Amino acid sequence: MKKLLIALLIFISLVAIYLSTQGAFRDIVIEQRVMPGFRVVGVQHRGAYEKIGDAFSRAHKIADENGVAVKMIGVYFDNPNEVAEDSLRSLAGLIVSEEDSAKLSVLPNMVALHIPAGNAAVSNFETGGMVSMIIGAMKSYPKLTEYVVAKGIANDVAFVYEVYGEGKTEYVMQLSGQ
């Protein structure tokens, strides 16, 4: 019994250490700032947001096949607290130049979107892989929602998106009319 308890404590310690390295215990800081505009081309996804991975893989493959630099963005159009999971709409996108937008947006199953520059609530979260990105989303979105509600700007949120960068993800609620 003592060996089992020691093994269990070691396991729990290792899990805690791993989760710590993935950001599970980091504080979330929300800042309000102006985000640049983005020209986006991507693959649409309908269904649970956490199942958008295949759409990202397709968008990445299309970018590679067409010689387009890969800078990924996920755009989420519906509030999962208000829309049934199987009806949630999102876009696994690529941030592209005007030239690359013209090249990719004419391809089958690719959709173009313009996100104008605007004031936004932003959470920057260090990420190094899928686990830290999931933890970042799970921690950031409640804080972002809390922030926009407390500021009285929740009804002004026009775009919700994630910009994936080297070692970090920006979770964004961008306001309209900016």
pLDDT at 1 over 80: no
Q: What whole-number distance in Å separates Cα of residue 178 and Cα of residue 121?
A: 13
pLDDT at 14 over 60: yes
Please indicate, yes or no, if residue 19 is contained in any of the structural domains: no
Q: What whole-number distance in Å separates Cα of residue 6 and Cα of residue 109?
A: 54
Please indicate, yes or no, if residue 152 is contained in any of the structural domains: yes
Please indicate, yes or no, if residue 170 is contained in any of the structural domains: yes
CATH of the domain at 150: 3.20.80.10
Total domains in the fold of the chain: 1
Please, what is the Cα angle at 81 between 75 and 83, to 5 degrees?
Answer: 70
Q: Quote the domain boundaries for residue 156.
A: 30-175
Please indicate, yes or no, if residue 17 is contained in any of the structural domains: no
Tell me the three state secondary structure of residue 37. coil
Please indicate, yes or no, if residue 86 is contained in any of the structural domains: yes
Please indicate whether residue 105 or residue 57 has the higher confidence score (pLDDT): 57
pLDDT at 27 over 90: no
pLDDT tens digits, one per residue of 62-89: 999 999 988 999 999 999 989 999 999 9
Please indicate, yes or no, if residue 11 is contained in any of the structural domains: no
Any idea of the CA torsion for 166, 49, 156, 82, to the nearest 10 degrees? -160
